[in-house]
């Protein structure tokens, strides 16, 4: 059985979990065709991501002629479906405050995708994130294409549910995946209780065999690692202040930031302002193996986020038996508590400083105990085999339905 996976930008360094999910579905017998709107603008560093880009079909990147040809063909062979798509496109634009050009671009991509999916023998589309790509899947479906489902992560998806027509996307989806109980609650709260049975909690997972068990507790290390895009939501701008407060007490302290993004220069400026250049290292994006090795050699993972879904890197650190310092937001408290790390209020420099001090003072017994609890929790909640089995059980019935003709445009 052949299904499609659709993303807005893919692959990226931060979408390794999607690649793993696809590969796990393929081991269960599904054939998965990758689609994405565009290539990532930054350089891929992991060999497996580079290989994944080579097997991804792009709707926008390098495809202007294909998009134009698809639109002309749709006018000739599917005028009623296109008319439904135009009506829904206008509705999406109204929800988005009149963004007609953007939504017209979505419609053209949707037309191309409908035709391409038919040629490729796709029985169902699954989308990651409920924003741009899910709008394209919705429009493709309205034009007469295959059914779709999507995984919602947050937090950006929940900022303005009305503008992104979240309820319309859920209503027309075969099913919706929420990555946490918090995420499911947000989807219900922002749309309608009548859709709650359609929304299933399926947590993101790890291939735990890739994360070696290590009884070494990291107590001889004063290195803290922060992994993630350098952006306001991740809260890395708070780190230099906390390090400045601690550097006299812990002269061997080193904080390694792995990732790149729009906050890079601001973080550099904060490092200079607090004179902690010798204590904080910006390494940029790194391959997955190097990230795992760096986390495995540290004392703790740090992620002082202000807005999140449920970060994969927290799962990875716990799988490597490393405690985590992070914040009371979104789905994080469903995985992290004081038994396997330090969970603090977001945007609190004082709480961040206190948690770092506690982590740096923790002895081998404490760190080892936290490591065991964290590993056991990830095994129980985030084993990819269990997560993908649950997703497979949703995808197969949806794919078996194939293409069900739409007799009219959906009503709100």
pLDDT tens track for 265-301: 999 999 999 999 999 999 999 999 999 999 999 999 9
Full-model pTM: 0.93
Q: Does residue 257 surpass a pLDDT of 90?
A: yes
- Side-chain half-sphere CA neighbours of 147 within 13 A: 22
User: Region 395-408: what's the mean pLDDT?
Assistant: 76
C-alpha span between 108 and 74 (Å, rounded): 10
Q: Please, which pLDDT band fits residue 371 given cuts at 50, 70 and 90?
A: very high
Q: Does residue 405 surpass a pLDDT of 60?
A: no
User: Region 205-212: what's the mean pLDDT?
Assistant: 92
User: Region 205-211: what's the mean pLDDT?
Assistant: 93
- Residue 406 has a pLDDT of 57
User: Region 140-160: what's the mean pLDDT?
Assistant: 93
Q: Does residue 411 surpass a pLDDT of 70?
A: no
Nearest to 153 by CA among 173, 170, 136, 176: 176
- Residue 217 has a pLDDT of 76
* 365 to 60, 317, 330, 361, 369: CA distances (angstroms): 53, 18, 30, 12, 6
C-alpha span between 388 and 333 (Å, rounded): 23
- Residue 267 has a pLDDT of 98
Contact 3, 32 (CB under 8 A): yes
- Residue 343 has a pLDDT of 98
User: Region 115-134: what's the mean pLDDT?
Assistant: 97
- Residue 404 has a pLDDT of 59
Contact 32, 53 (CB under 8 A): no
> Which ranges of 212-345 does DSSP label H, i.e. alpha helix?
239-246, 264-273, 288-296, 312-319
| DSSP-derived 3-state class of residue 140 | helix
Contact 187, 152 (CB under 8 A): yes
Q: Does residue 409 surpass a pLDDT of 50?
A: no
In whole numbers, what is the pLDDT of the chain averaged over residues? 94
In the chain the domains, ranked by start, together with CATH numbers, are: 2-205+385-401 (3.40.50.2000), 208-382 (3.40.50.2000)
What residues are paired with 217 via a beta bridge? none
Q: Give me Rg for the CA atoms of the chain.
A: 22
C-alpha span between 17 and 162 (Å, rounded): 28
DSSP label at residue 252: T
More confident residue, 273 or 156: 273
């Amino acid at each position: 059985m052949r299904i499609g996976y659709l993303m807005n930008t893919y692959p990226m360094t931060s979408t390794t979990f999607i690649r793993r999910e696809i590969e796990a579905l393929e081991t269960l017998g599904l054939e998965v065709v990758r689609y994405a709107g565009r290539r990532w603008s930054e350089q891929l560093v992991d060999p497996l991501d580079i290989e994944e880009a080579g097997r991804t079909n792009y709707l926008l990147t390098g495809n202007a002629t294909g998009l134009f040809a698809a639109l002309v063909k749709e006018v000739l062979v599917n005028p009623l479906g296109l008319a439904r798509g135009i009506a829904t496109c206008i509705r999406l634009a109204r929800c988005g405050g009149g963004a007609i050009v953007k939504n017209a671009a979505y419609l053209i991509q949707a037309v191309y995708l409908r035709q391409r999916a038919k040629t490729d023998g796709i029985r169902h589309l699954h989308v990651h994130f409920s924003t741009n790509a899910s709008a394209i899947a919705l429009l493709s479906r309205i034009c007469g294409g295959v059914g779709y489902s999507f995984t919602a992560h947050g937090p950006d998806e929940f900022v303005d549910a009305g503008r992104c027509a979240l309820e319309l996307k859920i209503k027309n989806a075969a099913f919706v995946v929420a990555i946490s109980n918090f995420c499911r609650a947000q989807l219900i709260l922002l749309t309608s209780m009548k859709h709650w049975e359609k929304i299933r909690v399926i947590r993101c997972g790890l291939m735990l065999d890739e994360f070696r068990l290590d009884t070494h507790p990291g107590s001889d290390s004063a290195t803290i690692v922060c992994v993630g895009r350098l952006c306001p939501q991740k809260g890395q701008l708070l780190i230099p202040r906390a390090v400045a407060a601690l550097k006299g007490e812990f002269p061997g302290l080193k904080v390694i930031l792995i990732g790149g993004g729009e906050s890079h220069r601001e973080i550099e400026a904060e490092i200079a302002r607090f004179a902690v250049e010798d204590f904080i290292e910006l390494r940029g994006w790194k391959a997955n193996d190097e990230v795992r090795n760096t986390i495995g050699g540290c004392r703790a993972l740090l992620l002082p986020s202000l807005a999140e879904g449920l970060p994969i890197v927290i799962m990875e650190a716990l799988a490597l038996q490393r405690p985590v310092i992070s914040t009371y937001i979104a789905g994080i408290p469903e995985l992290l508590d004081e038994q396997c790390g330090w969970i603090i209020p977001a945007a609190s420099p004082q709480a961040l400083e206190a948690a770092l001090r506690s982590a740096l003072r923790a002895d081998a017994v404490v760190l080892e105990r936290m490591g065991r609890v964290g590993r056991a929790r990830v095994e129980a909640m985030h084993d990819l085999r269990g997560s993908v089995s649950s997703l497979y059980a949703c995808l197969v019935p949806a794919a078996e339905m194939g293409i069900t003709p739409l007799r009219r445009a959906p009503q709100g």
